[in-house]
Structure 1
Amino acid sequence: MNEADQRATTPGESDERYQEGVVDLLAALAYGELSAFDRLAEDARTAPTLTGRAALSSMAAAEIGHFRMLQQALADRGVAVEEAMQPFAQPFDEFNASTAPHSWLESLVKAYVGDGLAADFYREVAEWLDADTRELVLAVLADTGHSAFAEREVQGACADDRSLRDKLTLWGRRLLGEAITQAQHVVVERDALAELIIKGSGDLTGVGAMFRRLQNNHTKRMGNLGLG
């Protein structure tokens, strides 16, 4: 590919449809970070130990820091984060309502598996973005420290309790199904975001392959927790 062709196929400031898709992507990510902050802060108050409470509180603080980064990135594009996030509020809230944890361990599995699945999705999309936006998205998706903590807590609790392990395994499978459904719903409702994803993956077959990769990563995460 010569230099002229490369410029023509690289997303840029002049591509308005691309920029519209990027704004949608950043807004969805921003609302996800804000929701994660709310959830982790609430879960911290139900922690059975002060160690757990401190760990989740630290994670919540990291999430709101990521939200601020996205807020500034949208502001730099002349977009108010509150307005941009509005289309994503209802589907995200419905997902969180339908997957409300009933225990401390379910909260940890949701934070580890659910947030990890979302992060995998955004990392996939990041590969198709311009360099500056890709760098921002990957920075926002940096691990807040909950992975290792969740693994230790869940593995320890399930080590000698087969019934608990089975229950949390079913919970993890439910999270996968709900999350995939939510992601597909959001994409279908936002035309520019759908175009961004379809073009980036090549075609609908590529989109299907992406979701299969997400499912495979989910299986690995469940294994890391000692579930599945």
Structure 2
Amino acid sequence: MTVSRAALVDLLGALAYGELSAFDRLAEDARTAPTLASRAALAKMAGAEIGHFRLLEEYLTGEGVPVEQAMAPFVKALDGYHASTAPHDWLEALVKVYLGDGLAVDFYRAVAGFLPEPSGSLVRQVLADTGHSAFAEREVAAAIAENRQVRDRLALWGRRLLADAITQAQYVVAEREDLAELFVSGFGDLSGIAVLFKQLQKQHSRRMSALGLA
């Protein structure tokens, strides 16, 4: 399929701001880690995220688009999502990293399937696991094994993250005409997009189970 330049810039700009925001959050969350080992783990993840951001920055610059310009339309929506889902403690922060980033990975990986090269390969490279999955599963499993109330609280938190993330994603697509056209073309029609969101929900449930929060 043919992908317009405007749609591709929008997609990569949204992804770039997501990576920059992930770096900011991980660096901040690292300071609340309960141990030096946990702090170091999140700091390493933050370093990986800024590396992904630089890949997108280099690509966009090569296409003659300043990364700041590409990211600008998505700042309000992504900042709004992070403000509305600000974690109250270390465990909520860890669950947000694991589940929130997982949703983003699932979404962009689906989109990468119909992008032209080298854009598709770039998106898949940026989606590489930074190592947070196994780390988050261990940390959360240990915490909820000791306290049932912690498990119940984090389960509610995980469900809220899904609802807020999908709401923001729908808002962004509605606001960006070129992105909306890209998704409708790539997934066939509006029903195809609905199927995608159902798949995202299923993957979210799988990750909740992996954390012991199902």
What's the TM-score once normalised by structure 2's chain length?
A: 0.99
Number of residues paired by the alignment? 214
Residue of structure 1 in register with 2:132 after alignment: 146
Stretch deviating more after TM superposition (122-131 or 167-176): 122-131
Matches within 5 A, 1:95-110: 95-110=81-96
Q: Where do 4+ consecutive residues of structure 1 move more than 6 Å?
A: none
The answer to whether the aligner puts 1:207 opposite 2:178 as a matched pair is: no
| Partner residue in 1 for 2:184 | 198
Please list, as runs of the form range in 1=range in 2, the aligned pairs for 1:158-197 lying within 5 A after superposition. 158-197=144-183
Q: Which residue of 1 aligns with 2:213?
A: 227
Residues 157-216 of structure 1, C-alpha deviation per residue, up to 9 Å, x if partnerless? 001311110000000000000000010111111111111111000000000000000000
Report what 2:54 is aligned to.
Answer: 68
For 1:27 and 1:224, locate their aligned partners in 2 and report how far apart those are by CA, in whole Å.
31
**Aligned-pair CA distance for 1:82:** 0.5
2:27 is the counterpart of 1:36: no
Structure 2 unaligned spans of 5+: none
Q: CA RMSD in A?
A: 0.7
- The residue type equivalent to 2:112 in the other structure is A
Aligned residue in 2 for 1:78:
64
Structure 1 stretches lacking a partner, 5+ long:
1-9
Deviations 1:109-139 (A, max 9, x none): 0000001101111011111101311100000
Kindly name which structure, 1 or 2, has the bigger radius of gyration based on alpha carbons.
Answer: 1
TM-score by length of 1: 0.93
Partners of 2:79 and 2:120 in 1: CA distance: 26
Aligned pair partner of 1:134 in 120, 127, 138: 120
